[in-house]
């Protein structure tokens, strides 16, 4: 119950508060959501990705987690494609649906939740947190793959609904995020520490501003959205993300042979709600924007229940 309360008050309610602020601003001032989208994808997203990749150390023993995260992504693609075919979705809806279950909130919910879980309760031993570093490192590996794929595959799927292949690729390669990823990886190899240069705080400011600005953008989009809590397709997507995610993760964890802390962290991470970026991408490419926005909101709300259950099950199935 304490974990449930903490998740609700520390992770979920602040998110909805910022979304609500965006909703009020959008309703009162009729904000230009498309301009918000441009600021997100041309400033905040590439800044967030660059800083995260550049400052993240990737231990060799965590490379298997990277492979796990890629396998998780591919499994979600397959599941999403099967469900979309059975439901007879058109191309745009199918791609929005696949984005919603492939890309999950591994950052502001996933990373903070993993940090909370492994620094409290049975993982706080004599005032120390011996399991936290391993769990957080595993989650950062997942976050790395999610960031890269969301801003490449996610862009392509959303744009291909209304553009041909050539135009989709042209649009993708016009997005600075595509270049932020290899640039960060390349600069990591140089014998220069960018975090020591005077302009580095600017990059940190951009990184830290991404989440609140993205949530305000989502709120503004929702103010122009015909929100319906009766849309069965939204609940199907949310169930696939919140319940199907940990089931797929459990199978892959067994296949890869993970155990203990890493297994728990990966299973918990897999059950987080749809990423806010899936809604922002839908707005940017005008691909089922109402559906994507509603799904992010509803899956985030429902995750207060499902996440608590998954945390409990992960502890039982993969004891430390």
Q: How far is CA 174 from the centre of its chain?
A: 22
Question: Quick one: pLDDT at residue 162?
Answer: 67
Domain at 1-317, CATH class? mainly alpha
pLDDT tens figures, 115-159: 778 877 778 788 788 888 888 888 888 988 888 888 788 878 877
Q: What confidence category does residue 87 fall into, taking pLDDT thresholds of 50, 70 and 90? A: very high
How far apart CA 107 and CA 116 sit, in angstroms, is: 13
Q: At what angle do helices 289-317 and 245-256 cross, to 10 degrees?
A: 50
Residue 241's nearest CA partner among 90, 95, 105, 142 is 105
In the predicted model, what is the mean pLDDT of residues 225-252? 88
How many CB atoms sit inside 10 A of residue 36's CB? Answer: 23
User: Could you tell me which residue, 279 or 107, shows the higher pLDDT?
Assistant: 279
pLDDT tens figures, 189-207: 898 899 999 999 999 999 8
Counting Cα atoms < 13 Å in the Cβ hemisphere of 293 gives: 28
Cite the DSSP H helix spans in 103-231. Answer: 110-117, 132-149, 155-160, 165-172, 177-188, 200-223
How far apart CA 289 and CA 225 sit, in angstroms, is: 8
Residue 295's nearest CA partner among 212, 229, 213, 215 is 229
pLDDT of 222 > 70? The answer is yes
Q: How far is CA 97 from the centre of its chain?
A: 15
pLDDT tens figures, 231-243: 888 999 999 999 9
Average pLDDT, the chain: 85
pLDDT of 255 > 70? The answer is yes
Least reliable range by pLDDT among 15-24, 68-77, 247-256: 15-24
Q: Write phi, then psi, for 125 (nearest 5 degrees).
A: -115, 115
| β-strand partners of 274 | 104
- 5 class by beta-carbon count within 10 Å (0-12 exposed, 13-18 middle, 19+ buried): exposed
């Amino acid at each position: 119950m304490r974990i449930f309360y903490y998740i609700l008050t520390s992770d979920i309610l602040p998110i909805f508060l910022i979304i609500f602020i965006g909703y009020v601003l959008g309703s009162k001032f009729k904000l230009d959501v498309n301009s918000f989208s441009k600021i997100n994808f041309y400033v905040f997203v590439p800044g967030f990705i660059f800083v995260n990749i550049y400052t993240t150390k990737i231990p060799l023993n965590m490379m298997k987690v990277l492979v796990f995260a890629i396998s998780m992504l591919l499994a979600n693609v397959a599941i999403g494609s099967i469900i979309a075919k059975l439901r007879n979705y058109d191309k745009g809806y199918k791609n929005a649906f696949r984005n919603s279950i492939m890309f999950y909130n591994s950052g502001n919910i996933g990373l903070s939740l993993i940090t909370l879980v492994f620094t409290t309760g049975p993982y706080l031993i004599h005032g120390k947190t011996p399991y936290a570093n391993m769990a957080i490192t595993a989650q950062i590996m997942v976050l790395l793959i999610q960031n890269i794929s969301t801003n490449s595959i996610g862009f392509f799927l959303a744009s291909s609904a209304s553009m041909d292949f050539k135009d989709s690729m042209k649009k993708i390669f016009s997005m600075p995020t595509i270049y932020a990823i290899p640039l960060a990886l390349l600069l990591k190899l140089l014998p220069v520490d960018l975090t020591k240069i005077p302009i580095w705080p600017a990059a940190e400011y951009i990184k830290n501003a991404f989440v609140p600005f993205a949530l305000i953008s989502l709120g503004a989009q929702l103010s122009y959205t015909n929100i319906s809590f009766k849309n069965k397709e939204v609940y199907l997507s949310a169930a696939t993300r919140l319940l199907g995610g940990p089931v797929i993760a459990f199978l892959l964890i067994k296949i890869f042979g993970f155990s203990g802390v890493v297994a728990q962290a990966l299973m918990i991470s897999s059950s987080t709600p749809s990423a806010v970026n899936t809604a922002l991408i839908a707005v940017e490419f005008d691909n089922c924007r109402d559906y994507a926005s509603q799904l992010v909101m509803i899956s985030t709300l429902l995750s207060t229940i499902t996440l608590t259950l998954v945390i409990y099950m992960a502890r039982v199935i993969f004891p430390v």
